[in-house]
Structure formats: C-alpha cells, structure tokens
Structure 1
C-alpha cells in the first residue's frame, strides 16, 4: 500500500500551466539566492551550479509528481531515454519520478468513481478500499471485492490527465529548454511527439484492456506466466478493473535461491525475444513494478499493458539480422541491420557511424558469454561513458528511431533487474532459437 501523502490533482489546463509557471518562478528565485551566495564567497556562479541546487531539485521533483500525468511521465521518459546526455543532477531529479507518485484526495477519488460508475457504484462491490495500493503517473490502483466476493484490482485514472497531455508535454519541454539544461544539439522533438502518442494510448484504459486480452491469447499455453482476468463490465476509458493476482515484488526475490532468480530472469529474457520475433508486440515499460512473482505457483505475474507497442515485420527482421551480426561479430551485417531498422540519419559521418557500431557491440556483451553474470558486470557505466563520448567528442546527438528507443529501454530495464537480482543467465542460448 502506498504511504505517499494525498494531494489534489490539478485538472484544468490553466491550473496545470500555473503549476509549471509557479515552479519556474520558485526555481528562478532559488537560482538568484544561490548565485548571490556564491558571489558573496568570491566565486563566479555557473548556470548549472545555481540551477541544480538540492533545493531546486526537490522543487522540480515534487511539482512534477504533484501534477502527475504527462508532466511526470515526460520526466520519466527523459530520465530513461536521455539520461546519459543530461547533467547528472538533472538526471537524478528526473529519475526520482520513476518511483514517486502521490494519490489523489479521497473526495476527488469519490467524484471520479461517481462520474464513471454512477451514484450507486458501490452496489457492485462487497468492499472497496479508498486507500490505494499504488500511485503512479497516470493513475492509482485500489483493492476491492466484487459483489460475488472475488478480489479485484481497480486502476483509476487521475481526472483531467487525458485532456492535458499535449499541453503538459509542450510546457515541460519549454521549461527544460529555457533552463539551458538540455544539450544544444539534442533533437528532442521526435521524443516529444512520441511521448504524446504513447501517453494518449496509456490514458485509454480500453486500449490497455485490448492489449491485456491479446497477451492472454498469446501466452495462454505458457504456464510460466500469470495474467489478471479482465472485468470489461467494470472497465471504461478511465477505469480498468482486473482480478487481483497475488505476488511479491521482484526485488524481494533477492533473498530467494540463485536458481529461482536465474529462472525468473531467463523467463523474462525469453519473453522479450518472443515479443520481438514471434508476437511483434512488446510491452515497452521497464518499470519493475509491472511484474510480480507468485511463490505459491512459481509463476511470473504480468500486470501492466498500457505501454505496449506493435512492431512491423521490417523492424522485427532488422533486429533478427542485428543479433545475427552481433553473434557472428560481423559489423557489415550489423550496419545493414541498423539501416533497415532506420537507425542512421542522412547526416552521419563515418566516424560517428563506427562509434555507434562499437556502442551496439558493447551492449551485446551478454551475448558473447555462455553464461552472463549480471552481478559482476560493469557494463552499465561503460555504456554510459561510451554514449557520452559519442555525444560530446563526436557531437552526435541523433535520436534513434522511436521503435528502437522504446525497445532499448525495455532491454536496459531487464539488464538492471538482472543485476539487482544478481542473476546468471544464458542469454545467448535463449536468443539463438529465434534467429
């Protein structure tokens, strides 16, 4: 159950813009105070030093978390997708948003339930808990019991979120741009457009319900995975009602035997390869909270399907060719595959292209060993250093195609989870049957 303090979600566009304007003024005030302090000490203040003070970092994090929705989600996306290109302090601010969310006030929640289900909505339940189990960027989850006694998980969207997506994304992007914190050459417009599209999709709970049903069909014969039952009669565009599925958070598995942790990560990597090559449908959100583990049935619980993405045969086959080239350590095959995926811009120079190939080869390190020990790996900082060198020394700010960008987020999330669980996985053996 979440212990975050409740607060009212600002619903109107004017109120949400006012929240960002208030944030900008308070950050500016903090900048002036820090600049004056440094001048008094005989120091020449630098922009990033006066902007990214601990107090300002707290202001940004709290305000975006208070707004929820696109404001919070864009911070999450930037922290995942451009984290290596941003100043460390800003990356730290945005990364906190991946775990922070405050629930709406009970009165606001009651108004949402009445609007969606009618004045007598409680007749459909033998119990409904107003204390949320979890709160995130788009909505919060509540435990309930159907009038037939079955336990339910009810996902309720924050009011006004779906109608504020475009303006929120534009306003937060403007705030980041005028702050001078984003690199001059970093083209974030494709990312912003994709953020809007993804957020509109995630805010449509009927779309998420359809993705849940597709995964239920695709994994019906695979007993390793457990998915919640959908209750369509209690679902709408802003409420998603599912059967409650018991399980522990995956990070709690760190106390379980090595074989169990290895098995969980092996199943997740194999599921990713199924998604890319067989389903051509990928759940792209790497948040650990989207998975749980049922210790009684030894099944992986898959919970969230809002960030699903369909992949074309061209992109799917491009990744198949890319992995083949990586296993064979043949950069000519890798280059052709990356071009098929749409990775390179027309303005790339040979040195930049080679650096990208080297970065991709580095990322494939888990494929080059029979069993990869994620606990002992220092691949993440080496990838960060290589990415920084590509963007700074070679001045390559090219944003990857959005299909690749979201898929790489999922891969990076699995890597981080495997490291947290100290898993040892034969990634190559899991991949080879799909090639």
Structure 2
C-alpha cells in the first residue's frame, strides 16, 4: 500500500512540476486516488486497521477535505466480505449440523460489513426476522499483530511528540478489540441497554436471540433503518431532534446508567423512517463508567459554567488533563481551551453545531500545543473513551447541521 501511494505521489509531483507548480507533500498525499487506495487496503485488512479508518472517516471537513472524508466513509460498512464458501464454513463450525433446515431464507450477501464481522439477514421457519452478525475468521487472532503494526505506523509518522509513551494505549486498544470479538459479551451488553431503554420510545435496541448466538455469531432481531448521516437531507426538525436525543442519551449513559457505548462510529446508529426511532447497534465497546468519573465531569461542568478558573484547574488535574509535570504555559493553554468551550455554552446555551468557529479555534490551540512540544500526561483509559464518545456526538451533530439546547440537556444532572 505504501509503495503504491508513494508511486502516485511521485507521478503527481512530476506532473505538477511539469506545469511549473511547486506541490506540497500534503496535496500530493491527500488525493482522492491515494485516499481511495488506503481505504481499499484497510477494508481488506479489517480488524484494528479498519477501526482506524472508521475514526478518520468521521471527520467533517475540518481536517480532511470533505471529498476525502466521503471516500473514507465507505469503511463504516464496506469491508471486503467473506465469500459464500468461507461464510458457510464459519456457520457450520458454530451451529449444529443441519442448521439450514431451520431457515426459510438466509441471504448470503451481507447487509453490512464492518471491522470485526459482517451482518446477514435471515428468516427462521418460526417466523423470526433476524440480523446475524458473523465474525471474520482469524480476526481475533490478528488483533495483536494489527495493533503492533498500527503502533509502528504511528511512530514512523512522526506525529507523536518526543517523550510520549504510546505502549499503554496500544495495550488498552488490544484489550478493547479482544473484548469486541467476544459476541457473548456484546449480546449481554445489548440486553442491558435494551432493559435500560425499555420504557423509552425514542430508541430501539435489537433483542438478543440466544438460541442462535455463540462467541463468534451474534443473532438478534432485524431492525430496519436508514444510515444516520443520511439525515443531512432530512427536514430541520428531524435533524435537530435526532442530535438532541443522542446527546441526551450520552448524558444519561454517563450520569444515570454508569454504562456507555463508547464507539460513536456513525454506522452504530440507524433511523427508522416509519417509527421515527433511533436504532442503536453494536455494543462491543460498552464500558462501565465509575461514579467517580461521572462526578468529576459534573464538577468540571459546574466550574466551567461558573467560569471558576481555579476550580477548573483543580478538576482538570483530578481528571488527568494536566498533571504536575505539565509545563505552566501548556497547562494554561489547555485550561484556555476548556474555558473556550464553556464560554460558548454560557453565551449561547443553544449551540449551532453547523458553525465550525469553535472547533477551528480549538484545533488551532491544539496545533500550537503540539508545535510547542506538549507531551500529554498518561490519561486514565476511561477518560479517553469518554472523550471519544463526546467527540463523536459533536461530529455527528455537526454532520447533521443541528441546533441543540445543550444547556437544558445538561441542567438536570448538575443538582
């Protein structure tokens, strides 16, 4: 893949020079052809490598040009699928002999194909309409080498500041991915969410089908719905409500449930065009969030809204955003970034996520930190997963160009 991309860059650079232009490395690298090639290769690799691509694909144009984000978006549901013979071999290994006689229909063409497995629609003779997630063979065994390779690429890229210790984060990524390959665990987490939301008509969660589920096959009721980001063309009221509901759910996960689905990949949300419900999918990255972290975030919000700089600094230390080794000029910049968020929330409690002014300011401050050699302190893993979820909700609301009364959503949890 690297050789092919470098070859494309060489050809593109020569063509630009021939036209009397001086091309930048960024422009040569981030061409649709190159990004398409990377997306295709990550789709073949699946697993940890594809997870990286999925995270990149959530960018809304602030970092990648929009057309390149669209190319990477195929990684949300477009991995290379198992051939029918390989699929049959996997099912035969997991289900009892003669299993096919229990079905009136089993579509060998998947309705979705992602990083860990692919999903098939099937109908049982007893009438159940199922979505059956089948894990790619060997994906669990490849996680350790995948993560090691991703780590090597990150180190080679030169993106990490000197002194930053990557190993603990790679270890946690490895652990998380191994958990995601345990479909028995995911099924249990799915049922926990189904129980937590059983009286909430806003959301729909599939029902686990134990009799057809194993550690590598997850069978659940089929739930129809459109891709959540396709709502960008929906009426304003729908876009605003969906963003509001998902941000509200994130707050409930943190402050009420103590349980959070921490993977905000857009493919994990669908919208029922008829029911108006948001369908929640993929609970492999579900984590218990301790009350101590929820309380720290509550304290941070209270301090931020009060614009209490001293209290913000204290809570930021307790959470781990800064520590005793952080240089004063770096901690001041981090606290400024936190204050920027709360200044926006205080001045405009109804947030227009389509306005990228704040995110661009935050990005500029982050770049200044990186250029000044800031080495982040070792963050607690729960904080990293929380921040990933918050960022994902921000990106989705921005994608939907939603306007949300965030202050009102937060208020009930500050008492």
What TM-score do the two structures reach when normalised by structure 1? Answer: 0.83
Structure 2: stretches of 5+ with no match in the other structure: none
Partner of 2:213: 235
Work out whether residues 100 and 136 of structure 1, in 8 Å CA contact, stay in contact via their aligned partners in 2. Answer: yes
SS of the residue corresponding to residue 320 of structure 1 reads helix
1:423, 1:46 → 2: CA distance?
Answer: 35
Work out whether residues 317 and 323 of structure 2, in 8 Å CA contact, stay in contact via their aligned partners in 1. Answer: no
Work out whether residues 52 and 89 of structure 1, in 8 Å CA contact, stay in contact via their aligned partners in 2. Answer: no
Partner of 2:326: 348
Which segment is superposed worse, 69-78 or 179-188? 179-188
SS of the residue corresponding to residue 278 of structure 1 reads helix
1:369-384 paired onto structure 2 within 5 Å: 369-384=348-363
Partner of 1:125: 103
Displacement of 1:273: 0.8
Could you give the per-residue CA deviations for residues 232-255 of structure 1, whole angstroms, max 9, x where no partner exists? 111111111110112222233344
Work out whether residues 85 and 388 of structure 1, in 8 Å CA contact, stay in contact via their aligned partners in 2. Answer: no
Partner of 1:7: none
1:312, 1:54 → 2: CA distance?
Answer: 43
Seen in structure 2, the aligned counterparts of structure 1 residues 193 and 98 have a Cα distance that, compared at 3 Å, is farther
Seen in structure 2, the aligned counterparts of structure 1 residues 87 and 355 have a Cα distance that, compared at 3 Å, is farther
Which segment is superposed worse, 86-95 or 351-360? 86-95
Could you give the per-residue CA deviations for residues 203-252 of structure 1, whole angstroms, max 9, x where no partner exists? 11111111111112212222222111110111111111110112222233
Seen in structure 2, the aligned counterparts of structure 1 residues 143 and 405 have a Cα distance that, compared at 3 Å, is same
Which one of 151, 175, 181 corresponds to residue 173 of structure 1?
151
Q: Does 1:390 align with 2:351?
A: no
Which one of 181, 188, 194 corresponds to residue 172 of structure 2?
194
Which one of 158, 164, 183 corresponds to residue 136 of structure 2?
158
Seen in structure 2, the aligned counterparts of structure 1 residues 28 and 415 have a Cα distance that, compared at 3 Å, is closer
Displacement of 1:155: 0.9
Seen in structure 2, the aligned counterparts of structure 1 residues 227 and 297 have a Cα distance that, compared at 3 Å, is same
Seen in structure 2, the aligned counterparts of structure 1 residues 151 and 184 have a Cα distance that, compared at 3 Å, is same
SS of the residue corresponding to residue 162 of structure 1 reads helix
Which segment is superposed worse, 37-46 or 182-191? 37-46
Partner of 1:332: 310
Q: Does 1:135 align with 2:107?
A: no
Work out whether residues 161 and 375 of structure 2, in 8 Å CA contact, stay in contact via their aligned partners in 1. Answer: no
SS of the residue corresponding to residue 154 of structure 1 reads strand
Which one of 389, 393, 397 corresponds to residue 418 of structure 1?
397
Which segment is superposed worse, 216-225 or 322-331? 216-225
Work out whether residues 391 and 397 of structure 1, in 8 Å CA contact, stay in contact via their aligned partners in 2. Answer: no
SS of the residue corresponding to residue 230 of structure 1 reads coil
Aligned residues: 412
2:226, 2:63 → 1: CA distance?
Answer: 34
Partner of 2:197: 219
Displacement of 1:180: 4.2
Partner of 2:48: 70
Displacement of 1:77: 4.9
Displacement of 1:36: 8.2
Which one of 271, 274, 291 corresponds to residue 293 of structure 1?
271
Displacement of 1:404: 1.9
Could you give the per-residue CA deviations for residues 173-226 of structure 1, whole angstroms, max 9, x where no partner exists? 223433545555554323312211111111111111111111122122222221
2:12, 2:235 → 1: CA distance?
Answer: 50
Partner of 1:431: 410
2:28, 2:248 → 1: CA distance?
Answer: 46
Displacement of 1:377: 4.2
Displacement of 1:121: 2.0
Work out whether residues 165 and 199 of structure 1, in 8 Å CA contact, stay in contact via their aligned partners in 2. Answer: yes
Displacement of 1:363: 3.3
Seen in structure 2, the aligned counterparts of structure 1 residues 335 and 84 have a Cα distance that, compared at 3 Å, is farther
Partner of 1:115: 93
SS of the residue corresponding to residue 346 of structure 1 reads coil
Work out whether residues 292 and 301 of structure 1, in 8 Å CA contact, stay in contact via their aligned partners in 2. Answer: yes
Backbone CA RMSD of aligned residues: 3.3
2:184, 2:74 → 1: CA distance?
Answer: 29
